[in-house]
A and B are shown apart, each in its own frame.
Chain A
Amino acid sequence: MSSITVGSHGHASAGHGHSDHSVGSFISTYVFSRDHKIIGLQFLFSTLLWFLVGGLLALGIRWQLAWPWQSMPVIGPMLFSAEGGQISPEFYTMLFTMHATVMIFFVIIPILAGAFGNYLIPLMIGADDMAFPTLNMLSYWFMWPAFVCIILSFFSPGYGAAAGWTSYPPLSAVWESAPSSGAAQTLWLLGVTFVGVSSMMGSVNYMTTIIQMRAPGMTMFRLPLTIWGMFITAVLQAFALPVLTAAGFMQLMDRMLGTGFFIPEQLVVNNSIAASGGGQPLLWQHLFWFYSHPAVYIMILPAMGMVSDILSCFARKPVFGYKPMVYSISAIAGLGFIVWGHHMFVSGMNPILGMTFMVATMMIALPSAVKTFNWLGTLWGGKIQYTTPMLFALAFVSMFVIGGLSGIFMAATPVDIYIHDTYYIVAHFHYVLFAGTAMAVFGAIYFWFPKMFGRMMDETLGKIHFFLTFIFLNGTFFTMHILGAAGFPRRLADPYHYESFQQLLPMNRFMSICAILMVAVQVVFAFNFIYSMFFGKKVGRNPWHANGLEWSAPSPPGHGNFDFQPIVYRGPYEYGSPEVDTDYYPQIQPPPEGVEPTDPGHH
């Protein structure tokens, strides 16, 4: 890896006004802080803890699939001692519901937008903080009611929501339909709604900040792709979330007030007749996916941006096709609003409508392909430094290809008839979200850790973490494609109940062992993270010799971020520029005497 030196940007123009950032008491500095960096770190720590919870829930699922009805370690004797540690099927249903809920709503969305969005946006655009610091603080603290609701959901009748993370009515809306459809489901709905409120506050703030608070010279086309990813994500959230919030309240009313938005006539559930009627279960699916499909892009666009930044930095080369990258992010977002129906090809939706969604879905693969080719173009002809963040970013590219290509199968409506709700789908979205986004998040943590804490994470441990995670994740998820081709359905507590799937047990064991090892390897990461926070090698402003504005601020940046007024002269990817002798060319560095500023970023 590159040597570590103390950055030396001698801009001693400190002392311009940051009077609004007076340092207060411990509580106002670290707890109810309005500083975007503290809020970002609060999001980061919370989401990493939830990541652990989500991972353990996943291990519960894997245990049951590999050793069905055998005493589940720890949980079995604790909760099901009467049954000899054998978990109940409703417990299994709860496990996968909560695994998805935690991972999507409490880990991926808040770690990308909440943690990295908060931490990086003001630093990367050269602002001293967010546009609305108080709103920003509230966006974090509105996650806490969500945390509380979900934790309570585990302990309320039903003991964890168990209607799937998609919460399809009538199963989710009618109390009689499941033992788990008690207060646990109501709390789940409230929890998800609070996450929505938090995200909405964040997205309004991000949009305003990116549009209004860029440093002098920071034009939109000089923004790092990370910021473009965050910006488009904020737009997606702002326009899609109200629909989910409305749908959530409709389901709450169906449950609590006896309305019948999603409950059809003459429903006989569990031998009792549902009180209300006149609704349509498919309505929920349309409303839910109208948000939750764009949410898939909310969960990947910031990751794509961060990966672009990391790749360019360690290839020591400008991003290939900056503008096509921006346009493809925007195209993904635009098309993302008209493809939700591809979750509903076999749902009973009109098949003609299915065809239009199919064409839109096929086309959304295009901008993803363009991005992949541009990443390869970025690497081509560079000088690649294999640091830990770079390895994770490369893993993202490599894995995203798999996740992207497998999406074409389910976009093809007739093929989807067969693979819908099988492990083919599970393989696909884990390749996008875990092998994709989570790898990008790890890369981003290793990359920006020195900025956050002023210390490096250990490279050796980082590489061990990378190699083992990469191997085990493929062992766990690649084989899911094969299960899917064999028709193995999702969400079955005991798939071997069917003769068709009995031969798949050994492969499931293999996958579960890989999954257990993969979670175990994260101990290396946790140790590295905590150890490096306190004992890591101290670094200066710019340990990676990167160009972005955040690398000209102190590490860690104090209140108000910059100790000088940043002025931006060029785009963030001027590595290997012939204008200067160094192989990097920070955005704030004025061009040398006599050199006409070439400005590829500015048009």
Chain B
Amino acid sequence: MFLLVPVLGITVFALAINNMWPMKNHWFPVDVSEHGHMIDGLFNFILYLTGAIFVGTGMVLFWVLWKYDAERVQENVMYTHGSHTLEVVWSILPAATLLFIAIYQMDTWHSEKMAYPMLAGVDNVLGTDDDIRRPPIAEVTGRQFEWRIRYPGEDGVLGTRDDLFTVNDLHIPVGEETVITIKSQDVLHSFFLPNFRLKQDLVPGMKQQVWFTPTTEGEYDIVCAELCGWGHYKMRGRITVESRADYEQFIVSLQEEQQPLKSPIGQVAAQ
């Protein structure tokens, strides 16, 4: 029976990874971002490593249980209190492995959460002192139980009177590095884009930025991943990745709809 644990355990994972019945589409959702493969790769690396250890310990446990069954063993038990050498070996090996994983992943974490996307400054060279921070393409505000989205409008600046608004409907151009400002109006929410391997909690009182580069056109879910009240489950948004032309068309249609007279309606709605 203890043999079944590693055997069935591996089977379940194998079926899911290879998309076989009864577990079709039970693995990672399709990745449509440029950095997503780094997270998936890291997951798979840890999966194979821990999988090997899981099978190893599982088999040892099974073998020991079979070999040293009291009904089978005649000779006396091995009277031992341990082995210093073994303890040292099985402390240092996992320690080295864990430390390796810890260091190995730091780059990914850095690019996901710390390396804010920059644009080349006046010298047109990225990585020099006059680089400027890439402006956010939109601002997403979580509130019970919807995503309020604000685009900066013509002037490219958020918080001005030409801002454009949508609810639960975020459009971004494909293939471009995208920065989004996220904040919350009331309680904690979490901005989760499964297909982009992106998640960041929205904390009231804090403005944060997330960034990613979409690679494939299509419509995907925006999921709220932090409990935000009774309607948490229905706080669903959609993110549409489309060509630059379609995206600009979308912005124009918003302008026609929301600012036919360039009235300060945006300013009012922003309050």
Point out residues on A near B: beta carbons under 8 Å. 88-90, 93, 162-164, 168-171, 174, 177-180, 264-270, 280-282, 315-324, 346-348, 351-352, 354-355, 358-359, 362-363, 365-366, 369-370, 372-374, 376-377, 379-386, 394, 397-399, 401-402, 405-406, 408-409, 412-415, 417-422, 467, 470, 474, 478-479, 481-483, 485-487, 489-495, 497-500, 503-504, 506-507, 573, 575-578, 583, 600
Roughly how many angstroms separate A265 CA and B183 CA in the complex, as a whole number? 13
B166 touches A (CB below 8 Å)? no
Contact A269 B80 (CB under 8 A): no
Contact A489 B223 (CB under 8 A): yes
Of A163, A379, A397, chain B has the most CB atoms within 10 Å of the CB of A379
Roughly how many angstroms separate A297 CA and B8 CA in the complex, as a whole number? 29
Selected contact of B64 from candidates A370, A380, A386, A503, CB within 8 Å: A380
Roughly how many angstroms separate A493 CA and B144 CA in the complex, as a whole number? 15
Q: CB within 8 Å of A: which of B74-92?
A: 76-83, 86-87, 90-91
Roughly how many angstroms separate A171 CA and B29 CA in the complex, as a whole number? 30
A269-B187, A417-B39 known; A487 and B28 CB under 8 Å?
A: yes
Residues of B within 8 A of A380 (CB): 64, 68, 78
Q: What's the least CB distance linking A164 to chain B, in Å?
A: 5
Residues of B within 8 A of A385 (CB): 70
Contact B68 A376 (CB under 8 A): no
Q: 4 closest pairs, A vs B, by CB? A: A264-B205, A381-B78, A321-B82, A90-B230
Q: What's the least CB distance linking A573 to chain B, in Å?
A: 8
B133 touches A (CB below 8 Å)? no
Residues of A within 8 A of B187 (CB): 168-171, 174, 177, 269
Of A163, A177, A470, chain B has the most CB atoms within 10 Å of the CB of A177
Contact B70 A383 (CB under 8 A): yes
Contact residues on B (Cβ < 8 Å of other chain), bracket: 35 or more
Contact B81 A497 (CB under 8 A): no
B227 touches A (CB below 8 Å)? yes
Selected contact of B90 from candidates A174, A370, A600, CB within 8 Å: A370
Residues of B within 8 A of A408 (CB): 46, 50, 98, 101
12 more CB-based (< 8 A) A-B contacts, given A319-B81, A373-B86, A409-B50: A162-B230, A320-B82, A351-B109, A362-B98, A382-B78, A414-B105, A420-B225, A421-B199, A487-B29, A487-B194, A489-B223, A578-B79
Selected contact of B188 from candidates A171, A383, A467, CB within 8 Å: A171
A168-B188, A269-B144, A402-B9 known; A493 and B233 CB under 8 Å?
A: yes
Contact B50 A318 (CB under 8 A): no
Roughly how many angstroms separate A422 CA and B192 CA in the complex, as a whole number? 11
Among B17-25, B167-175, B242-250, the stretch that binds chain A is B17-25
Residues of B within 8 A of A500 (CB): 29, 194-195, 220-221, 223
Q: What's the least CB distance linking B4 to chain A, in Å?
A: 8
A486-B27, A583-B77 known; A265 and B144 CB under 8 Å?
A: no
Contact B102 A163 (CB under 8 A): no
Roughly how many angstroms separate A352 CA and B106 CA in the complex, as a whole number? 10
Residues of A within 8 A of B223 (CB): 487, 489, 498, 500
Roughly how many angstroms separate A271 CA and B27 CA in the complex, as a whole number? 40
Residues of A within 8 A of B260 (CB): none
Contact B65 A394 (CB under 8 A): yes
Q: CB within 8 Å of A: which of B162-207?
A: 185-188, 190, 192, 194-195, 197-206
Contact A420 B199 (CB under 8 A): yes
Q: CB within 8 Å of A: which of B104-124?
A: 105-106, 108-109, 112-114
A348-B208, A576-B77 known; A418 and B197 CB under 8 Å?
A: yes
Contact B201 A346 (CB under 8 A): yes
A-B contacts, 25 of them at CB < 8 A, read A89-B233, A168-B187, A171-B229, A178-B229, A269-B187, A363-B98, A363-B99, A373-B86, A382-B68, A384-B69, A397-B61, A401-B53, A401-B58, A413-B109, A414-B39, A414-B105, A415-B39, A470-B1, A474-B8, A482-B26, A489-B192, A489-B225, A491-B232, A495-B233, A573-B81
B261 touches A (CB below 8 Å)? no
Contact A376 B60 (CB under 8 A): yes
Contact A482 B65 (CB under 8 A): no
Contact B86 A377 (CB under 8 A): yes
Contact B186 A267 (CB under 8 A): yes
Residues of A within 8 A of B201 (CB): 346-348
Roughly how many angstroms separate A179 CA and B13 CA in the complex, as a whole number? 40
Question: Across the two chains, which residue of chain A brings its CB closest to B206?
Answer: A348
B57 touches A (CB below 8 Å)? yes
Residues of B within 8 A of A399 (CB): 5
A281-B188, A412-B42, A493-B232 known; A318 and B203 CB under 8 Å?
A: no
Residues of B within 8 A of A482 (CB): 12-13, 16, 23, 26-27
Q: What's the least CB distance linking A225 to chain B, in Å?
A: 13
Roughly how many angstroms separate A500 CA and B25 CA in the complex, as a whole number? 10
Residues of A within 8 A of B198 (CB): 417
Residues of A within 8 A of B28 (CB): 485-487
Q: What's the least CB distance linking A122 to chain B, in Å?
A: 26
Residues of A within 8 A of B228 (CB): 171
B236 touches A (CB below 8 Å)? yes
Q: CB within 8 Å of A: which of B11-53?
A: 12-13, 16, 22-29, 38-39, 42-43, 46-47, 50, 53
Q: What's the least CB distance linking A584 to chain B, in Å?
A: 11
Roughly how many angstroms separate A493 CA and B234 CA in the complex, as a whole number? 8
Q: What's the least CB distance linking A247 to chain B, in Å?
A: 16
B226 touches A (CB below 8 Å)? yes
Contact A93 B29 (CB under 8 A): no
Residues of B within 8 A of A90 (CB): 230
B269 touches A (CB below 8 Å)? no
Roughly how many angstroms separate A398 CA and B68 CA in the complex, as a whole number? 17
Selected contact of A497 from candidates B192, B205, B234, CB within 8 Å: B234
Contact A384 B225 (CB under 8 A): no
Roughly how many angstroms separate A320 CA and B84 CA in the complex, as a whole number? 10
Q: What's the least CB distance linking A267 to chain B, in Å?
A: 6
A267-B204, A420-B199, A467-B1 known; A498 and B221 CB under 8 Å?
A: yes
A88-B230, A163-B227 known; A376 and B64 CB under 8 Å?
A: yes
Residues of B within 8 A of A268 (CB): 143, 185-186
Q: What's the least CB distance linking B140 to chain A, in Å?
A: 14
Contact B80 A412 (CB under 8 A): no
Residues of A within 8 A of B232 (CB): 89, 93, 491-493
Contact A359 B102 (CB under 8 A): yes
Roughly how many angstroms separate A321 CA and B83 CA in the complex, as a whole number? 7
Of A359, A405, A415, A504, chain B has the most CB atoms within 10 Å of the CB of A415
A420-B225, A492-B233 known; A474 and B24 CB under 8 Å?
A: no
Residues of A within 8 A of B58 (CB): 398, 401
Of B60, B81, B221, chain A has the most CB atoms within 10 Å of the CB of B81
Residues of A within 8 A of B54 (CB): 401-402, 405
Contact B101 A362 (CB under 8 A): yes
Contact B200 A264 (CB under 8 A): no
Residues of B within 8 A of A504 (CB): 26
Contact B79 A405 (CB under 8 A): no
Roughly how many angstroms separate A379 CA and B39 CA in the complex, as a whole number? 38
Q: What's the least CB distance linking A39 to chain B, in Å?
A: 35
A269-B144, A359-B102 known; A351 and B70 CB under 8 Å?
A: no
